[in-house]
Amino acid sequence: MAPSAIVTGSGSGLGLALTLALAARGEHVVAVARDADRLRTVLGGTVGVTLHPGDVTDPGLGAELRERVGDRLDLLVHNAGELGPSPLPRLADYPAAALRAVLETTVVGPLQLTQALLPAVRRARGTVVGLSSDAAVEAYEGWGGYGLAKAAADHAAAVLGVEEPDLRVYAFDPGDMRTAMHQRAFPGEDISDRPEPATVVPALLRLLDSRPPSGRYTAASLSAVAS
């Protein structure tokens, strides 16, 4: 069976939870992550999941995945992310090299991957999802580098949605979650009050299944509609 979905950043957090949920409902997912050992540990042997170690900043990743999916791809999820330095620096002190790395992972890499896979997504009249953040639309001290990258990614999704009217292109904001990345943003603090990533998956699946017009959606708003 040809893969129906690709999820980057599948080794942990929301990417892992989404990959497991898609596989559990019978979809064939290509799970992409930089850490090959972790990918094998958390997803090795999972029915419906094909492991593909790789870095979204690698220009050759798109060609590799294009070979895996063939002519059609229903869903492409850009979940891989890069927080940047920890503790979070103010913009006045933000290292240029670190900002370039955040932009490569959050904006440039996903765009390259979309370009490579777009013909297959077009044939399926499929869906592209980019993970957003409230830092893309709100000004938080210390979140300048991460926030401006997410804002750029949101805008890329919005433009792609206009340019590809036969597709669905979403920026999805899951809200705060209890993840390793979020812990790095708050070193030494207790973030156990944040929800687990698996609790956000139903809202994302609701978005994918209902296929509203392309745009930016939050887990909170989708959950409110469901209730």
Tokens matching residue 208: 């994918």
Residue 226 to residue 224: CA distance in whole angstroms = 5
| Pair 136, 154: CB distance under 8 Å | yes
Q: Are 19 and 49 in contact (CB under 8 A)?
A: yes
Q: What are phi and psi of 57, to 5 degrees?
A: -85, -5
Element (H, E) at 8: strand 5-8
Tokens of 138: 């709100």
Q: Which of 94, 146, 170, 217 is catalytic?
A: 146
What are the residues whose beta carbons fall under 8 Å from the beta carbon of 142, sequence distance 6 or more? Answer: 87, 88, 89, 90
Tell me which residue has tokens 């990614």: 153
Active site residue 146: yes
Instruction: For residue 21, give the amino acid letter.
Output: A
Enter the tokens of residue 129.
Answer: 């999802």
Residue 58's CB is within 10 A of a number of other CB atoms, namely 14
- Report, as residue numbers or ranges, the catalytic residues: 146
